[in-house]
Structures are given as structure tokens and as C-alpha cells.
Amino acid sequence: MSYTALYRKYRPDTFNGVIGQDHIVKTLKNEMNTGRISHAYLFCGTRGTGKTSTAKIFAKAINCENPIDGEPCGKCNPCTAIAQGRSVNVIEIDAASNNSVDNIREIREEVKYPPTEGKYKVYIIDEVHMLSQGAFNALLKTLEEPPAHVIFILATTDPQKVPVTILSRCQRFDFRRITSDDIVSTLSKYLENENVQADEDALRYISHLADGSMRDSLSILDQCLSFFYGETITLEKVIDISGAVDTTVFFKTADAIFNKDAKKLMDIVDEVVMEGRDVKQFVSELINHFRNLLVAISVDNPSNILDMSTENIKELKNQSNNTSADELIYLIKTFSTLSNEIKYSDNERVLLEVMFIKLCTPSAEKSYDGLLARISAIERAVKDGIKVSATIETPVSKPVKKTKAAPKPKAESEDFKRLRNMWLDFCENFKMPLRGILLKSELRQKDSDTVYISCEKPFERDMVKNSLNIIKDILDEKTGKEFELATITESEYKRWHDITYGVEESQSPEDEDWESLMSNVFPDADFL
């Protein structure tokens, strides 16, 4: 006999077998017992939460000859026919591949005929949001005036794409993600039937990878059983088979970021890549680690929120002493942006390495959130006992040759300030790679009439220059004002700035702003 995958073998055939959806099961059973059965249902929820399984169980229950407290008996002819997939009264349709108007017209013709066996003819339309607009319009007429013997069950992972005219004619049930405890207990029960041993931390990690999907967790477990046949399933084996990274690596990565240890971070990236791990998954797990640290800092009893072992929570609390909430929020935002950029890049490793180096080079990050993170790091260093000199030696006076004072930079206009504040949101109007270049660029102002988009590389400047008219049109539309735009490289701007104001790069107004900001935080400190 051919092998049956675990998710098919343990597919529930009664309402009592549905995991983690008690609110839906109770409602459907009550409708069965009271006879208040609707003509259309909409089952919403993420993958692997039991939408299709519940639809089939409900189809059996309403056609069962001997239902028991709303449950199908599983023995009568309608129940066995539906369970074996040979019932002509339960029609499953994949809307992803049958999404045309003609497909729905066929349904409209078929619903006229009564069921050959049982009380109802049930149409289960999976991924209903994939139907075309014309198909939805054709389906709407049937939902408005359905025959008494027809029931529609629409299943979708994206209810926002379903027209409101369809939504308003259906009873909506939202399937929740299955909790980690429910997944672990269910997997343990299944493993007993399979005579396989597994560590609890391994099952919890499987539930973490499944992200609330029972089907995904069973698929991962099935893969582990095939690879490690006859062996006990451990956490290390699950990590190895899933291509994930050991949790200790994230603690090491976070420590290296907090300590600005670029070499350590480069070694970690090399280790992750050489072991064949998924860089995008590594970034996603690192974001989750920073989230866990943030919870450990912000909540008195994080064990109620974090689905982790006591030892890991203790280690999180210890590591949280080396950071702050502001720094963690900044890191979560930064790596979330990186995660989106990696989706469209072939150089995942390079992007990750550049981000790590940027985090280890404070001068490379001058955004508001970045400055807050730097301030938090300095405050933490002072708190830990690093002394900041508060004494200033009296310099020996020397004759100074009087020179004409350099002109001060012009103050930014209010329109220019507003433009800089909205620049990140404005960049989202463009597609990659132009959006990536604009996000890295700086807005500069030589005079009050022109805004310069300053790029790091000449080829980036040329790409922006080629799209300058489009950028200007969209900018004028968004702001309601007309801006004169030009392009420049950062080196060209700095050269002009030094010539005009006689200020070296190390004494730029931005650095003066930084010293002023730090003086407000540490008024008694001496900044060399």
C-alpha cells in the first residue's frame, strides 16, 4: 500500500477532531441541532487552520442520516461517500484554476438539479478570492436567490479581495492560527500512534516554524521522520532539516551588534551562508529575536507572552541588560526594511553584510531613530562605568591671525524641511531599483530655489536624473507645490560645501548638530 502523508492521514473527519477552532465548531453544531442552516458560508483564515476540513465535515453532517449531537455518524452512505471523495453531492472547486465566468455559469446550471442522495448539494469553492470580477458577478445572482437544496461554502486566505456584495450574503467564520500548545499536544499524540519519540523543544520549534498552521507542522514532522527514520526527533535535527539557524546564533549576533563587533558579524554571516542556511529566514528570525528582547525589557512577566523555555527567557533577560527599548525598536525597523529589500535582490549576503557594517559604524547612520539608538548606547556605557571627562584643560593662548569669517549656511526653508520629513514615505511611490536608490539618497539645498537629490555613486545619480521628470511630477502632485529638482553626488556636494563655507568634512554642520545634541544629554562632558 502506498504511503499516506501525515497531514492527509490525520485529517479530522468529525468536528471534535478540528484543532483550535472551538468557536466555529460550536456554532456549526448548534446550527445543525436547531436546523438554522444558512445557504452560504465564508471560511477565512491562514493556510492549514482547517477551513477545507471543516467544510467537508459540515457537508457530511448536514447530509448524515443519523447525526449525533451535530456530529456526522461516519457510517451511513452519504458519510462514507463524502469521506471517500466519491459523492456527487459535494463538489470541490479550486477557484485558482477555475476562475472564469464560464466556470461559474456551469455551476448556475447545475444547482437547478436536486441532490441524488442526502438533503443538500454542497459546493466548496477554495481560494474564492482568485475568481475574476465577472465570475463574482455571475456567482452573486446564485447567492441572491439560491435553491433550497444548495449550500455554498467559500474558503479564502485573503477575504479583503472578496467583493462586499458577496461578503454580505455569507455567514463569515474567521479561523484562528492554532496555538503552539495545541500543535505540540496534537503532534505528541500523533507520534505515539507512529511509535516515534520526540523532544518537546523540537516539537515547539516545529510549531514556531509552522506559524499557526497544523498542516505545515505535520509536513515538517513528516520530513523529519523520513530523514531521521527510527531516531528520536531532537531540536538540532529539526533545525538541520528545516534549513533554519540555531537559536544561539541569534544571541551571538545580537551581542556583536550591541558591541559594534563587525568582524564577529562577518564571521556569523559566513557561517550562515556556508552551512546553506536561508539568509531571508535568518533575517526574519533575527527580527523575532529582537522582538523577544523588547518583550523581555517591557513586560514584567514575559513567560506569559514568549513561547520559549525558562532557560531561554532567562538568557533573554540577561542580554536585555545590554540594550534599550529605543535601540531594539530601531533594529526591528531596520531589519524589517532589509527583509523587504532581500526579496528583490540576488545579493542577499552583500545586503546583510552592508547592514551589519552600517550598524557597527555610527557615523554611517544619521536618521532620527539611529541617533536615538546611539544616544541609548552612550547612556548605557556611562551607566556601566565608562567615565566621560568633565574637565577641560586651559589651552595656552597663541596669537591668532584674523581672517574673514566664513558665511554661515542658509537656514532650511519650511517647504524643504517638510519634504525631508516625508521623503521616506514618498519613495514608496516608485519600484525597485529606483526606490532603493532614492531611499539611500540625501536631500540637499544649495540655495532656496533648488532641491538636490544627492546620491552616493555617479551611476545612481544618472539613474535618478533619467527619471527626474517623473519624480518631479509625482512630488508636485503629492505636495501641492512646485519644486525645482536636480541631481548631484555626495562628494560633489561636500566639495561645494567646503569651498562655500570653509568647513572641513569633520566640522560639518551635521557633526556640529550631533555635538550639540550630545551636549544636551551630557552637559558636563568634554567632547574631543
- Transcribe 65-96 into DSSP letters: SS-BTTB--S-SHHHHHHHTT--SSEEEEETT
Q: Has residue 19 got a pLDDT over 50?
A: yes
Work out the burial of residue 19: count CB atoms within 10 Å of its CB; fewer than 13 is exposed, 13-18 middle, 19 or more buried.
Answer: middle
Are 253 and 265 within 8 A, CB to CB? yes
Quote the CA–CA distance of 440 and 438 in Å, as a whole number.
5
- Per-residue CA distances from 67 to 22, 72, 76, 79 (Å): 19, 5, 10, 10
Specify the pLDDT at position 21: 92
Report the pLDDT value the prediction gives residue 338, as an integer from 0 to 100.
92
- Asked if the model's pLDDT at residue 268 lies above 50, the reply is yes
pLDDT, tens only, 497-517:
777 766 544 444 445 555 555
**Can you tell me the mean pLDDT for 149-171?**
92
Whole-number average pLDDT of the chain: 82
Domain tally, the chain: 4
pLDDT at 444: 84
Percentage above 70 pLDDT, the chain: 84
Lowest mean pLDDT among 53-57, 403-407, 519-523: 403-407
Domain check: are 189 and 274 in the same one? Answer: no
Q: Do 65 and 164 belong to one domain? A: yes
Q: What is the pLDDT of residues 180-229, one digit of tens each?
A: 889 999 999 999 988 889 988 889 889 888 888 999 999 999 999 888 88
Q: What is the pLDDT of residue 377?
A: 59
Which single residue is written with the C-alpha cell 531532537? 234
Determine the pLDDT at residue 1. 54
Are 237 and 201 part of one and the same domain? yes
Domain coverage including residue 489: 414-501
Whole-number pLDDT of residue 55: 94
Chain Cα centroid distance, residue 218:
22
- CB-based contacts of 278, cutoff 8 Å, min separation 6: 243, 244
- Determine the average pLDDT of the residues in 154-175: 92
Q: Which grid coordinates are listed for 420?
A: 525631508
pLDDT over 90 at 154, yes or no: yes
Report whether pLDDT(528) > 70: no
> Given pLDDT bands bounded at 50, 70 and 90, which one contains residue 175?
very high
CATH at residue 202: 1.10.8.60
Domain stops at, among 158, 174, 190: 174
* CATH (domain of 355): 1.20.272.10
Q: Do 225 and 260 sit in the same domain of this protein? A: no
In a domain, 16, yes or no: yes
Q: In this structure, is residue 393 part of a structural domain?
A: no
**232 and 271 belong to one structural domain:** no
Instruction: Assign residue 477 the CATH number of its domain.
Output: 3.30.300.180
26 φ/ψ sector (left φ>0, alpha ψ -120 to 50, else beta): alpha
- 394 vs 108, more confident: 108
Run of H or E residues at 208 = helix 200-210
H helix intervals, 299-367: 310-320, 325-343, 348-360
69 and 84 together in one domain: yes
- Residue 317 pLDDT exceeds 70: yes
**Residue 199 sits in the same domain as residue 276:** no
Statement to judge: residues 20 and 139 lie in one domain: yes
Q: Are residues 377 and 486 in the same domain?
A: no
Indicate whether 478 and 418 sit together in one domain: yes
For residue 410, what pLDDT band results from cuts at 50, 70 and 90? very low
pLDDT-based confidence at 409, cuts 50/70/90?
Answer: very low
74: left (phi over 0), alpha (psi -120 to 50) or beta: left
pLDDT value of residue 407: 47
Which of the four pLDDT bands, split at 50, 70 and 90, describes residue 518?
Answer: low
Neighbour tally for 331: CB within 10 Å: 24
| Number of continuous H segments (helices) and E segments (strands) in the chain | 24, 8
CB atoms within 10 A of CB 155: 23
**Most confident of the following: 36-50, 350-364, 407-421:** 36-50
Same domain, 16 and 162: yes
Which residues are CB-contacts of 174 (< 8 A; sequence separation ≥ 6)? 44, 45
| Lowest-confidence segment of 225-229, 381-385, 420-424 by average pLDDT | 381-385
- Burial of residue 83, with CB atoms counted within 10 A of its CB: 0-12 exposed, 13-18 middle, 19 or more buried: middle
> What secondary structure does DSSP assign to 142-159, as a single string?
HHHS--TTEEEEEEES-G
* Encoded amino acid at 510, one letter: E
Query: What is the pLDDT at residue 90?
Result: 92
pLDDT score at 217: 92
Between 171 and 247, whose confidence is greater? 171
420 neighbors 443 (Cβ within 8 angstroms):
yes
137 and 251, same domain (yes or no):
no
Residue pair 294/323 in contact (Cβ under 8 Å)? The answer is no
Domain CATH code at residue 102: 3.40.50.300
Q: Is residue 205 in a domain?
A: yes
Residues whose CB falls within 8 Å of the CB of residue 171, separated by 6 or more in sequence, listed in order: 38, 40, 41, 42
Helix crossing, 247-258 with 310-320: angle to 10°?
Answer: 10
